[in-house]
Amino acid sequence: MNIAKNMEVIFFAAIALASVTGFATASADAPVSRAPAYSSAVAPQGAMQVVTVKAKRMTAAEKAAAAE
């Protein structure tokens, strides 16, 4: 069966299927989101945690030695 000869039929079948699916789901209600409108995980003002790293940077020779 040569698929090139039937491409027009396949195209119209796909369009018909998409149209029927669109009409079938158009009358369905939209899903209701139960997520809150705000996030309670946000820290209050001034309570932000800060991380300070006290270490010297590696030299090029140290980086090369670590990569081996």
In the predicted model, is pLDDT for residue 40 greater than 80?
no
pTM above 0.75, yes or no: no
Mean pLDDT computed over 12-37:
79
Give 10's contacts (C-beta < 8 A, 6+ positions apart).
3
Identify the band that residue 25 occupies on the pLDDT scale cut at 50, 70 and 90.
confident
Compute the Cα dihedral for 53, 55, 59, 64 and give only its sign: negative
pLDDT by residue (tens digit) across 46-61? 677 788 989 898 899 9
Quick one: CA torsion of 53, 59, 62, 67, rounded to 10 degrees? 80
Contact between 66 and 58 (Cβ < 8 Å): yes
